[in-house]
């Protein structure tokens, strides 16, 4: 129960756009207790579990069950025309997008985008390698895909060598793939990097999303 409850509690809190302190006040608990519950360091007593389920309007089965309450782009609609998707701080290698737990917030996207079973996620931009088109702190909405044929000359999230995702412009050729920063004077000294077909297969190098929209907070 503990791990499922911890994950589901955090997703429910983020979905409601509540801080741990705000949730603690609504449940009559200390904020540190909420943190320990979400980290799986402490388990609530059953009366608290029932109180939490009632507060969020979910069943006990969903709160402590094995199924993830909010899969990527399959959340409760906010209106008839929009749904909410998670914005991730990072994407971890080997973990499906919908199972990522580094969720910073949820944002609305048009429901019509998901026609044809298309799925989306957001990434918070860190660094200046894609400046000035994208700035530190921007949220970029990505359409999930691993299709190289539609990634050419597009800004993509790419998984390389088992590390966290990198965000670069992608150039596809018969001999391989090149990841290109828009800002060649970036702080990380990231230069255009070419990967041949063997490297693409062995490292591997995977396209995991194509940028659909940028959102900048004023």
In this structure, what CATH number is given to the domain that contains residue 11?
1.10.260.40
Nearest Cα residue to 109 out of 218, 217, 212: 212
- Both 120 and 201 in one domain: the answer is yes
Residues 47-101: tens digit of each pLDDT: 888 899 889 888 777 787 644 444 333 334 445 688 888 898 877 666 667 667 6
Q: Is residue 76 situated within a structural domain? A: no
- Both 44 and 149 in one domain: the answer is no
Residue 96, pLDDT score: 66
- Both 47 and 88 in one domain: the answer is no
Greatest CA separation found in the chain? 62
Domain that holds residue 189: 82-215
Predicted model pTM? 0.64
Q: What is the DSSP-derived secondary structure letter of residue 96?
A: -
Average of per-residue pLDDT across 143-157: 91
- Both 114 and 193 in one domain: the answer is yes
Q: Is residue 23 situated within a structural domain? A: yes
- The strand pair at 154-160 and 205-215 is best described as antiparallel
Residue 178, pLDDT score: 96
Q: Is residue 95 situated within a structural domain? A: yes
Residue 24, pLDDT score: 93
pLDDT at 176 > cutoff 90: yes
Question: Of the ranges 6-10, 19-23, 147-151, which one carries the lowest mean pLDDT score?
Answer: 6-10
- List alpha helices for the chain, DSSP H: 2-15, 20-27, 31-39, 46-56, 60-64, 197-202
- Both 179 and 95 in one domain: the answer is yes
In which residue are the tokens 């737990």 written?
101
- Both 160 and 109 in one domain: the answer is yes
Bridge partners (DSSP) of residue 6 are none
Q: Is residue 73 situated within a structural domain? A: no
Which residue among 64, 99, 115 closes a domain?
A: 64
Q: Edge to edge, what strands does the sheet with 176-180 contain?
A: 103-110, 82-88, 120-124, 139-143, 205-215, 154-160, 166-173, 176-180, 193-196
Q: Is residue 74 situated within a structural domain? A: no
In this structure, what CATH number is given to the domain that contains residue 96?
2.10.109.10
Average of per-residue pLDDT across 121-130: 90
**104 band by pLDDT with thresholds 50, 70 and 90:** confident
Task: Report the C-alpha gap between 72 and 149 in whole angstroms.
Answer: 24
- Both 93 and 186 in one domain: the answer is yes
- Both 86 and 59 in one domain: the answer is no
- Both 54 and 98 in one domain: the answer is no
Question: Of the ranges 1-5, 88-92, 134-138, 156-160, which one carries the lowest mean pLDDT score?
Answer: 1-5
Total domains in the chain come to 2
- Both 148 and 47 in one domain: the answer is no
């Amino acid at each position: 129960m503990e791990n499922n409850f911890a994950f589901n509690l955090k997703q429910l809190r983020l979905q409601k756009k509540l801080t741990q302190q705000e949730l603690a006040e609504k449940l009559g608990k200390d904020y540190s207790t909420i943190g320990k519950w979400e980290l799986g360091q402490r388990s609530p007593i059953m009366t608290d579990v029932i109180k939490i389920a009632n507060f969020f309007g979910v069943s006990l089965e969903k709160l402590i069950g094995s199924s993830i309450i909010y899969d990527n782009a399959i959340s409760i609609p906010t209106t008839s025309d929009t749904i909410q998707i998670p914005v991730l701080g990072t994407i971890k290698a080997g973990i499906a997008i919908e199972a990522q737990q580094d969720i910073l917030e949820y944002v609305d996207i048009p429901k019509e985008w998901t026609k044809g079973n298309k799925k989306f996620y957001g990434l918070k931009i860190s660094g200046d390698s894609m400046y000035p088109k994208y700035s530190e702190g921007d949220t970029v909405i990505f359409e999930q895909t691993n299709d190289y044929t539609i990634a050419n000359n597009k800004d993509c999230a790419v998984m390389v060598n088992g590390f966290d995702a990198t965000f670069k412009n992608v150039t596809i050729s018969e001999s391989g793939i090149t990841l290109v920063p828009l800002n060649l004077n970036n702080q990380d000294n990231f230069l255009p990097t070419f990967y041949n077909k063997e490297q693409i297969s062995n490292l591997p190098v995977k396209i995991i999303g194509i940028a659909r929209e940028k959102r900048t907070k004023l």
